[in-house]
Structure 1
């Protein structure tokens, strides 16, 4: 069974087709002798394309819900609000076989680049959504401050001061989950690297999974569901 979440919201009908592509940023340069060389650069941002996401206005036996049934307007309002919020979202795609073997999950911080709703007679009362998501990466920016000092002579000298980031705080050995936390947020605040959320999950898998089951879930969906009060060990 495949499941799709955006910002923790489970969409009841998983799209039949999902395209994830990465564009490169390589550059071709012409040399003096008219030959070409390819200058390799880091890969570009990943892009998720969903051409047809069905949002039902009625219950279907094939649809999945994490709790209360919601009509299409609920999901349309969520997507519209996220699109205009100017904030990054968390996209999670979970892949599991009928025998519950985990085929791995895709988790990305994304922004909504394209959002289109279509109401077609062929879909009855249901709404069809076209969605394009683009990977979002946090960046650190250094600020340059120019200071001008007058010398004893008539000439002027310019000093450039670079503000440096303060040294990272020491990494704690453990952390207790509070309301509103997710593993990405914890990895960012405690390890200074949001991409290390998987290390936290692997180190605390038994605790996270058992806690999720105590709260009535079959699993934590690879660490998506964590609960306040859970004490987690932090990797070195």
Structure 2
């Protein structure tokens, strides 16, 4: 089985050996007057991800650099920007079977809680970076806009350009150096896990989703 692990739009050059995701609960235990113990059910807590990432400082045949970073300094700079940016980003794991078949993917909005950089003699010149990420849930106030028809009934206002019957415009993207289907889906569609949709639309020209080339023109959903 092959793994591709992305932090935001950054492909880790070497996938972690383990990817533990802890799904916490918030249930509370209480005691009734008669001494009976009960469990008060609460909404699920935020998931937490702890991974150890090896950043190679030497050439490894198994290491894959995606073009956005190609050394340890770039990687640490990206982590620093994510930590100071105070914005959620996407954590994605793309899984592929031994026959090249796509398996289930993990895609989760997270925040970078902390990270630790270690120089370990057993790792040689390589850096070991321990990351702690926490699931991010979007929240906010829902605002509905209504217009009044002549008969006084309220009707939700339809956004311009979303009228029924209008054919969606076809979009294309030209592949550049360092692109992969996941990064294209992230940049163009806002969600890297939608890379399979791009692959389905372009199966006539992309036989292997892991092999795309600069200059290729891909249709986007």
> TM-score under structure 1 normalisation?
0.67
> Relative to structure 1, is the Cα distance of residues 176 and 36 closer, same or farther in structure 2, using a 3 angstrom cutoff?
farther
Which of the residues 201, 209, 212 maps onto 1:207? 201
For 1:4, the equivalent position in structure 2 comes to: 5
Report the alpha carbon displacement of residue 177 of structure 1 after superposing the two structures with TM. 5.2
Question: Could you list the runs of 5+ residues in structure 2 that have no partner in the other structure?
Answer: 146-155, 174-186
Question: Tell me, what secondary structure is at the counterpart of 2:5?
Answer: strand
> Relative to structure 1, is the Cα distance of residues 217 and 68 closer, same or farther in structure 2, using a 3 angstrom cutoff?
farther
- Contact 2:53–2:130, Cα closer than 8 Å, also in 1: yes
Equivalences for 1:22-171 in 2 at 5 Å?
22-50=23-51, 52-67=52-67, 70-141=70-141, 164-166=143-145, 169=158
Distance 1:104 1:20 in 2: 15
Question: Could you list the runs of 5+ residues in structure 1 that have no partner in the other structure?
Answer: 143-163, 186-196, 221-226
Distance 1:69 1:83 in 2: 17
Report the alpha carbon displacement of residue 127 of structure 1 after superposing the two structures with TM. 0.7
Task: Give per-residue Cα distances to partners, 1:104-144, cap 9 Å, x unaligned.
Answer: 110001000121111122222211000011111110237xx
Which of the residues 206, 210, 216 maps onto 1:218? 210
For 2:176, the equivalent position in structure 1 comes to: none
Count of matched residue positions in the alignment of Structure 1 and Structure 2: 189
Which of the residues 171, 182, 197 maps onto 2:189? 182
> Relative to structure 1, is the Cα distance of residues 219 and 109 closer, same or farther in structure 2, using a 3 angstrom cutoff?
farther
Q: Please say which of residues 176-185 and 123-132 is displaced more in the overlay.
A: 176-185
More relative contact order, 1 or 2 (CA 8 Å, 6+ apart): 2
For 2:148, the equivalent position in structure 1 comes to: none
- Contact 1:12–1:63, Cα closer than 8 Å, also in 2: yes
- Contact 1:177–1:230, Cα closer than 8 Å, also in 2: yes
Higher Cα Rg, which structure: 1
> TM-score under structure 2 normalisation?
0.71
